[in-house]
């Protein structure tokens, strides 16, 4: 079967369903509705295989059936993923629905041609065209009244290995939930060598009870109305819609490259000393009142260092010398809600926060220290429960964008443990958050060597990436 993408040939497109007769209907909480028409999250896991196992005949006849059957077994524990988001005309709000006789997860089986250099794709220190990764992630269907929740693509690279591309709807699950599902699938797949009916370990069992998410402030209707207003302003489709707003979130892949950088534990220790040595010298909007910490987290250090390096690269390029930035990041609220909820809660339980920076902070002489201090201050001020500014965050962010401020965000986490995900073929050679190309976003994972470092994924204009590469590495050469 031919593919519209020149790099791959499609072997099969099918639907994998759980062996379940249970009909399921789940509400979307306000934390889900916050992301209702947001772009999907796309990730790719690249695995190497011995030459004999990566031969097309062996791979599609022996390994793919194992991946399919384990996926079906896993979906029995994660029934919502096999269903869809629906919004019937007689319902005041959308919800999740699984119909056992009709629903399942779309699975695309593909083979990459020999023109693609697999070894270059999985390198951690070289850039490649941003558009290339789009060959290995599947499309997620959505209309005004219906949206798929997850789709999967398995792509063979003959004589090298394979990739698993997963696209998930953000209105159903956050990064922790989607990673839990992938870990469960991998665990069951690996266990098929020993038993035909593997059990799921308790730490991978999803907690599906939605009633634990309380909504005393009626954020649910606030977010539905917010999306309706956004739809009316930006979209020509039905205002009452769950269709992903692709016109707002197009991938920025023209003249762009994708690259991965690493901050080792030693790098992070050096950056920590640099910030703390200047901590009391920086007086920025009340920041001087903060207590001098003994150590900053790898999250604070990475976000500050990378965002400042990106800002300087953009400023030094010919693209926009006057570019100003704002910075935001998501926070997992499972342990922050009052009372806290089950750590395996399956759904969205993240809230976004805008850091109280000035647009010019990122390019000041001590921008790294300033931004690190403000991210640290933002995290320290977080209280229990959903933050007050949540319901107005979307419009505050849009107002800043309208003033010419470019938003920079974060996707992923070093706590997800993605480099531990083994389907029985070994740990992944590379894990990529592909959807960071839909905005100016820092993709975070733990380092592949699992030794305490941080891996950073970026998609930037080629000229900006070249400048970033220089700024990033030069900044790590200086001792305090």
The torsion of the CA quartet 174, 176, 178, 184, rounded to 10 degrees, works out to -160
What are residue 163's DSSP bridge partners? Answer: 46, 155
422 noted as active-site residue: yes
Are the C-beta atoms of 191 and 360 separated by less than 8 Å? no
Q: How far apart are CA 320 and CA 463, in angstroms?
A: 12
- Whether 170 is catalytic is yes
Torsion of CA 107, 30, 342, 452, to 10 degrees: 70
Sign of the dihedral through C-alpha 416, 419, 422, 428: positive
**Which H or E run contains 310?**
helix 298-316
Residue 205's Cβ-side half-sphere holds a number of Cα atoms within 13 Å equal to 7
- Name the catalytic one among 39, 169, 170, 469: 170
Cα–chain-centroid distance for residue 12? 27
Query: What distance in Å separates the CA atoms of residue 130 and residue 460, rounded to the nearest whole number?
Result: 8
Determine the length of the chain: 480
Other Cβ atoms within 10 Å of 472 Cβ, number: 23
From first CA to last CA, the distance across the chain in angstroms is 58
339, 345, 348, 352: CA torsion to nearest 10: 50
Q: Which member of 144, 215, 366, 422 is catalytic?
A: 422
| Residue whose C-alpha is closest to residue 44's, from 171, 136, 127, 128 | 136
Question: For residues 103-112, b (16+ Cβ closer than 10 Å) or e, as one string?
Answer: bbbbbbbbbb
Q: Which residues are catalytic?
A: 170, 422
């Amino acid at each position: 079967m031919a593919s519209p993408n020149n790099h791959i040939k499609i072997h099969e497109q099918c639907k994998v369903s759980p062996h379940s007769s249970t009909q399921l209907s789940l509400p979307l909480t306000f934390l889900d509705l916050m992301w209702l028409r947001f772009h999907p999250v796309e990730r790719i896991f690249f695995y190497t295989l011995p030459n004999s196992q990566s031969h097309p005949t062996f791979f599609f006849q022996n390994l793919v059936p194992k991946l399919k059957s384990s996926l079906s077994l896993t979906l029995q524990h994660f029934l919502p993923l096999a269903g869809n988001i629906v919004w019937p005309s007689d319902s005041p709000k959308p919800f999740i629905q699984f119909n056992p006789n009709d629903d399942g997860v779309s699975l695309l089986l593909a083979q990459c041609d020999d023109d693609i250099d697999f070894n270059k794709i999985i390198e951690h220190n070289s850039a490649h065209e941003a558009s290339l990764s789009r060959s290995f992630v599947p499309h997620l269907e959505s209309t005004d009244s219906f949206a798929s929740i997850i789709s999967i693509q398995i792509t063979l690279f003959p004589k090298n290995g394979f990739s698993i591309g997963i696209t998930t709807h953000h209105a159903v699950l956050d990064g922790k939930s989607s990673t839990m599902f992938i870990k469960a699938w991998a665990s069951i797949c690996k266990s098929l060598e020993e038993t035909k009916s593997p059990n799921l370990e308790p730490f991978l069992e999803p907690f599906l009870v939605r009633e634990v998410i309380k909504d005393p402030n009626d954020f649910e209707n606030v977010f539905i109305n917010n999306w309706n207003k956004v739809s009316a302003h930006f979209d020509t489709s039905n205002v009452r819609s769950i269709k992903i707003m692709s016109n707002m979130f197009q991938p920025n892949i023209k003249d762009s490259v994708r690259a991965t950088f690493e901050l080792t534990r030693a790098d992070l220790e050096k950056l920590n000393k640099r910030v703390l040595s200047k901590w009391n010298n920086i007086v920025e909007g009340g920041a001087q009142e903060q207590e001098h910490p003994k150590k900053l987290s790898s999250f604070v250090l990475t976000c500050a260092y990378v965002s400042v390096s990106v800002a300087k690269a953009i400023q030094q390029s010919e693209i926009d010398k006057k570019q100003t930035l704002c910075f935001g990041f998501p926070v997992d609220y499972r342990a922050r809600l009052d009372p806290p909820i089950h750590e395996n809660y399956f759904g969205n339980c993240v809230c976004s926060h805008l850091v109280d920076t000035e647009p010019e902070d990122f390019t000041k002489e001590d921008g790294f220290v300033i931004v690190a201090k403000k991210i640290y201050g933002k995290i320290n001020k977080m209280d229990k429960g959903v933050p007050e500014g949540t319901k107005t965050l979307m419009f505050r962010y849009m107002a800043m964008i309208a003033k010419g401020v470019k938003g920079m965000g974060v996707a992923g986490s070093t706590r997800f443990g993605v480099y531990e995900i083994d389907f029985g073929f070994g740990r992944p050679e590379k894990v990529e958050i592909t959807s960071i190309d839909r905005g100016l976003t820092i993709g975070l994972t733990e380092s592949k060597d699992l030794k305490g470092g941080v891996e950073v994924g970026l998609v930037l204009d080629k000229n900006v990436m070249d400048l970033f590469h220089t700024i990033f590495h030069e900044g790590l050469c200086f001792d305090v």
